[in-house]
Amino acid sequence: MNLRRGFKSEANRIAREVRRELRLGLAAPLDPWKLAEHLGIPIETLTSMRCDAPQAVEQLAKNDHEAFSAVAVFSGYRRLIVVNDAHSRGRQASSLAP
């Protein structure tokens, strides 16, 4: 995979800037929930959607909980992440920050 010239330097600069804004050292763990909050991206749990889609939540949270980890939803400038809270906190963190 070829990256455009300067991409790595730019990505590293942005990463350092965001870490500075979050008051994190360069090697400190990055909490994906805090990062999403900092970026203004709400995170909803799958089970919080039970009223809107009870059958889907039942299927994905209980019957086949390995089938769904997380999804980022975009609508124009609006963003939302839905994470499967039937998973462990560690797996949710991995799902939020691929």
Label residue 98 by pLDDT band (50, 70, 90): low
- DSSP category for residue 31: -
**SS3 of 72, please?**
strand
Q: Is the pLDDT reported for residue 2 higher than 90?
A: no
How far from chain centre, in Å, is Cα 40?
12
96: tokens are 């939020």
Q: Which residue has the higher pLDDT, 36 or 62?
A: 36
Structure tokens at 51: 């009223």
Instruction: Please tell me the distance from the alpha carbon of residue 33 to that of residue 41, in angstroms, as a whole number.
Output: 9
Give per-residue pLDDT as tens, 40-84. 999 999 999 999 999 999 998 889 888 999 999 999 999 999 999
Closest Cα partner for 83 from 52, 54, 57?
A: 57
Hey, what amino acid is at 38?
H
The per-residue pLDDT for range 16-30, each reduced to its tens digit, is: 999 999 999 989 999
Instruction: Output the pTM of the full model.
Output: 0.81
